[in-house]
């Protein structure tokens, strides 16, 4: 099986229908924290443009839309782009949002100049050096490259919450029974996981930083069985296409496992904290540019 996901058109195939429902939310304070951290970025006082790269179903782009005059989301997955467009219309944001089906490696794609570029758990899927250099040139001087992700390594206790915790270990075991022990991704596998050293990549592309902000999560969440099934099927390593004709059997086994773990069908979870890392493009002169 080929290794490595770059340029893989199947990475998130079929996940769009499950993504928004299934994924645990970013920390509720994220838009406010980001607005604070970006204060002073040229053009970020509501009249700037946001480029959201690897936008998925528009989760980040739409939650941040009120901070910008215009938002452009880019993603190679047709299902994700369709979901983002639908949700934008449902929120009355169709007028200020634009959704472009393209890989980050195909930028700049005539999209113009931006104040801020966000990457919500997406940069590690890209040809990072190329994308960092392209996006640097699409940002205004002093503009911001913003990486947003669930805080890694966080242990959030679910003791004391009303329902059992989601049985992630057992789910992982079930996925491995169907798909094998090595992490799957699109048409290939990722035995070593996704690449690290984002800092080196961005420094080499001429960015300075990062400014790191952790937005606390920890809120109590109630999840039902459909939410958890959606969460599993939203992941690249257990995306629907990977199961082929065995998808109905996998889903039936998953639902049985969830029923055994919580006969009421309800689970308790805590929202993850969100880690934000902000990198800046060089400014023509030293010092922050006023808004």
Ligand X SMILES: C[S@@+](CC[C@H](N)C(=O)[O-])C[C@H]1O[C@@H](n2cnc3c(N)ncnc32)[C@H](O)[C@@H]1O
Number of residues that bind ligand X (CB under 6 A): 20
Site for ligand X in 13-32 (CB under 6 A): none
Nearest to 42 by CA among 148, 114, 97: 114
Decide: is 80 part of the binding site for ligand X (CB under 6 A): yes
Nearer to ligand X, 79 or 142 (CB): 79
Contacting ligand X within 30-69 (CB under 6 A): 53-56, 59-60
Burial annotation 124-141 (CB, 10 A radius, 16+ → b, else e): bbbebeebbebbbebbbe
With CB under 6 A as the contact rule, the residue among 105, 172, 197, 222 that binds ligand X is: 105
207 binds ligand X (CB under 6 A): no
Give residue 13's region: left, alpha or beta (phi > 0; psi -120 to 50): beta
Strand order of the β-sheet with 70-75 is 97-101, 70-75, 49-53, 114-120, 139-150, 274-280, 208-215
Please identify which residue in 11, 88, 171, 215 interacts with ligand X, judged by CB under 6 A: 11
Instruction: Kindly state the tokens that stand for 72.
Output: 């452009």
Residue 103 binds to ligand X (criterion: CB under 6 A): yes
126 binds ligand X (CB under 6 A): yes
Closer to ligand X by Cβ: residue 53 or 242: 53
- Whether the CA torsion 281, 283, 287, 289 is positive or negative: it is negative
Judged by CB under 6 A, the residue of 41, 44, 97, 122 near ligand X is 122
CB atoms within 10 A of CB 86: 16
The least CB distance from residue 155 to ligand X, in Å, is 22
- Determine if 210 is a binding residue for ligand X (CB under 6 A): no
What is the end-to-end Cα distance of the chain in Å, rounded?
A: 51
Q: Which residues pair with 145 in a beta bridge?
A: 117, 279
Nearer Cβ to ligand X, position 12 or 250? 12
Question: Which of these, 57, 31, 58, lies nearest to 46 by C-alpha position?
Answer: 31
Cβ pair 183, 1 in contact under 8 A: no
Residues facing 98 on adjacent strands: 72
121 belongs to the binding site for ligand X (CB under 6 A): yes
Residue 287 makes CB contacts below 8 A (sequence gap 6+) with: none
Rounded to 5 degrees, φ, ψ at 212 are -105, 130
Nearest-CB residue for ligand X:
120
**Does 83 contact ligand X by CB under 6 A?**
no
Please choose, out of 82-90, 102-110, 134-142, 249-257, the segment that lies near ligand X by the rule CB under 6 A: 102-110
Minimal distance, residue 212 CB to ligand X, in Å: 18
191 contacts 182 by C-beta, under 8 angstroms: yes
Q: Judged by CB, which is closer to ligand X: 83, or 261?
A: 83
Q: Is 123 in the site for ligand X (CB under 6 A)?
A: no
12 is a site residue for ligand X (CB under 6 A): yes
Is residue 139 part of the contact set for ligand X (CB under 6 A)? Answer: no
Check binding of 76 to ligand X (CB under 6 A). Answer: yes
Indicate the residue among 48 and 56 with the shorter CB distance to ligand X: 56
- Binding residues (CB under 6 A) for ligand X: these are 11-12, 53-56, 59-60, 75-77, 80, 103-105, 120-122, 125-126
């Amino acid at each position: 099986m080929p290794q490595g996901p770059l340029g893989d058109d199947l990475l998130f195939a079929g996940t769009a229908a499950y993504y928004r429902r299934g994924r645990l939310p970013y920390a509720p304070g994220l838009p406010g924290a980001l607005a604070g951290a970006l204060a002073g970025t040229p053009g970020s006082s509501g009249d700037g443009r946001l480029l959201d790269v690897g936008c998925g179903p528009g989760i980040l782009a739409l939650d941040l839309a009120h901070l910008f005059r215009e938002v452009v989301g880019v993603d190679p997955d047709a299902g994700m782009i369709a979901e983002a467009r639908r949700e934008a219309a449902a929120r009355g944001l169709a007028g200020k949002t634009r959704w472009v089906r393209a890989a980050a490696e195909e930028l700049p794609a005539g999209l113009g100049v931006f104040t801020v570029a966000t990457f919500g758990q997406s940069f590690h899927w890209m040809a990072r050096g190329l994308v960092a250099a392209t996006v640097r040139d699409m940002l205004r001087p002093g503009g911001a490259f913003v990486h947003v992700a669930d805080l890694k390594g966080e242990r959030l206790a679910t003791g004391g919450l009303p329902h059992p915790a989601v049985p992630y270990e057992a789910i992982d075991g079930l996925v491995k029974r169907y798909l094998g022990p090595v992490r799957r991704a699109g048409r290939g596998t990722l035995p070593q996981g996704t690449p690290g050293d984002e800092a080196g990549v961005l420094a080499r592309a001429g960015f300075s930083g990062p400014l790191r902000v952790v937005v606390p999560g920890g809120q109590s969440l109630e999840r039902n069985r459909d939410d958890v099934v959606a969460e599993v099927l939203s992941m690249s390593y257990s995306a629907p296409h990977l199961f082929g004709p065995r998808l109905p059997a996998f889903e039936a086994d998953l639902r049985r496992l969830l029923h055994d773990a919580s006969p009421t069908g309800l689970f308790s979870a805590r929202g993850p904290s969100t880690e934000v890392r902000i990198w800046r493009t060089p400014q023509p002169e030293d010092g922050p540019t006023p808004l």
